Amino acid sequence: MVHLRLQMRRYADADSQTLNNPLSAKTAEESLMTAAPIPAGIVSPRPAWRSLFWIVLLTVLWIVLIYWQPIIPASGVPTTVHQLAAHGLVAVGLWLGLESTDLTPGQRRTTWLAIMIPDTLWFSLAWSAAINGVFRTSASSLPLLPLAIFLPVVIGAPLLLLSERVGQVLDAMPATWLVALQLYRIFGSWALAAWLHGALPGVFALPAGMGDVLTGLFAVPAAIAVASGTAQARKAAIVWNIFGLADFAVAITLGMITSPGRFQLIVPSVLSIGAGAHPDVLTPAFVVPSSILLHALSLRQLIRRRAA
């Protein structure tokens, strides 16, 4: 008992000295503040895998729904809605990124308008052309659908990848945004449902649809990984971007060689996506080139972060 009282008295004396000596209190506080941080590499990967589980589940339910009710994808509403949502997120994300730069308010507005006005007009033009059958192979002798795919990329990629101001915005934005945004790629599962119904040839629908779905499924887990800030996560996001671009390379090639026209090499038993019918044609006419540009911007951002 006496020993316990002596021990308690020592603790009381130590606390009293700490309170009476600000320097020792400050030293103790600094020792707590300078504790070694937890390395990002040991952050639990459970949130990423949990998000993947739920996205897979919702994607399967979506495929079942559009297979059961083919009128849903045939209406063109899903493609239009998810692209309008992506368009709105790009607009908001671009503005928030500009707000984080050292540009003047006038420069921010000018940059935002210089990107969003052409993007909005492009979507409106592609949507209107698809509705009016402009991309149908019988509508013109010109390869209008390949032009709709490649022309925006040929014009937009150099402007976006070489612009210093766009680079400033990418530096200010979280790298997770451009990765997670392409979650909408899971809606490429409409091609799989169309194949199951016999509306698209399997030689096109299977590789193109599965590639889109896989890109969309891993968008959120890749973004969660990038948020950790590790070099391994950044490399994984770069691989994800390359996979997404490779999916488009395969899909575009198969779409061209299975569709009526000068590039056709395979004649399937049913018309392929390149026939130009609405709403399917919205995917190659707008979704594909816009997604290619998003991949290019994400790669530029990730490479700039690695160089920094």
Percent of the chain with pLDDT over 70: 84
Report the alpha-carbon distance of residue 83 to residue 69 in Å, rounded.
21
Residue 33's contacts (CB-CB under 8 Å, 6 or more residues apart) are none
Task: Give the number of other CB atoms < 10 A from CB of residue 94.
Answer: 20
**Per-residue confidence (pLDDT) for residue 260, from 0 to 100:** 82
For the chain, domain boundaries: 44-68+78-307
Helix (H, G, I), strand (E, B) or coil at 91: helix
Helix (H, G, I), strand (E, B) or coil at 100: coil
Lowest average pLDDT, out of 38-52, 55-69, 120-134, goes to 38-52
Report the alpha-carbon distance of residue 179 to residue 301 in Å, rounded.
11
Q: Which helix (H) or strand (E) holds 63?
A: helix 46-68
Q: Exposed, middle or buried: residue 53 (CB in 10 Å: 0-12, 13-18, 19+)?
A: exposed
Centroid of chain to Cα 121 = 21
Helices (H) and strands (E) in the chain, counts: 15, 0
**How many CA atoms does the CB half-sphere of 220 hold within 13 Å?**
17
Q: Which helix (H) or strand (E) holds 29?
A: helix 22-33
**Per-residue confidence (pLDDT) for residue 24, from 0 to 100:** 44
The answer to whether residues 248 and 212 touch, using CB atoms and an 8 Å cutoff, is no
Q: Which carries the bigger pLDDT value, residue 60 or residue 199?
A: 60
Whether pLDDT at 277 is above 90: no
Centroid of chain to Cα 303 = 16
Q: Which carries the bigger pLDDT value, residue 56 or residue 306?
A: 56
Mean pLDDT of the chain: 84
Percent of the chain with pLDDT over 90: 60
